[in-house]
Amino acid sequence: MSRLEQRFAQLKTEGRAALVTFITAGDPGYDTSLQVLKGLPAAGADVIELGMPFTDPMADGVAIQLATLRALDAGQTLQKTLQMVSEFRVNDQTTPIVLMGYYNPIHRFGVEAFVAQAKEAGVDGLIIVDLPPEHDAELATPAQASGIDFIRLTTPTTDDARLSRVLERSSGFVYYVSVAGVTGAGSATTEHVTEAIARLRRHTSLPISVGFGIRTPEQAAAIARLADGVVVGSAFVDKIATAESPEKAIDGVLTLCAALAEGVRNARIG
């Protein structure tokens, strides 16, 4: 059983959803980013998505685009992102880490080398936003053969025929993008999310995590009553962007994480 499967199974027995947190690797610099990464589990993160900076982040909103630029300007590379996971794993063998990003840097790195090093570093899953199921042979197949889950995105515009294709070889969990568009662009109604999750459950038994547009403990709690996971990203990135110092960036992210975690944990009480 993979770390992701173990974590979602554990939370199911606890009767609560997972808080899935996203940060961009290397934002605003390697050391600060690593300290944030290491601090997230104690602040309540159940699963961590780590963005792989790329020069053309087309699916990301302005906040994450700027985070990517800050990371690249500070010298972040795919190799350093894998190194960051390795350093995290020295003291944490239980929190799942999912790398999220685009195929181009992996293709340039070399798929075989990337999969081998990602596995060795302790990566548990991949979300590659621009690699559809038709291209499974390029990365999904070798990743899954190495025990790395390949997580698919679904959206409100994914029809039933396409949904079956998208979910056919997904593993780990399903990431439902609750607002069609770029990250951080507004939030979805609970009615819409309820209907969407019911539809997804007809197609898959995988845990369903909902993200895009969730910024407050109240919003996180509302989604946690419906889904298996609540994904928050842009809100953390904003804390880093507006912080006056690296120390305040770390404190801002971890304080927000703790508040969101409390919302998620209390969502199904009563």
Identify the segments of the chain with pLDDT beneath 50: 180-185, 270
Active site residue 60: yes
Out of 14, 27, 31, 49, the active site residue is 49
Out of 27, 46, 60, 238, the active site residue is 60
**CB 138, CB 131: distance < 8 Å:** yes
The pLDDT of residue 269: 67
The pLDDT of residue 208: 98
The pLDDT of residue 60: 74
What CATH number should be reported for the domain whose range is 3-266? 3.20.20.70
Domain boundaries, the chain: 3-266
pLDDT in tens, 79-110: 999 999 999 999 999 999 999 999 999 999 99
The pLDDT of residue 213: 82
CA dihedral 145, 78, 59, 141 (to 10 degrees): -10
The pLDDT of residue 188: 57
**CB 23, CB 53: distance < 8 Å:** no
The pLDDT of residue 187: 55
**CB 231, CB 49: distance < 8 Å:** yes
The pLDDT of residue 184: 47
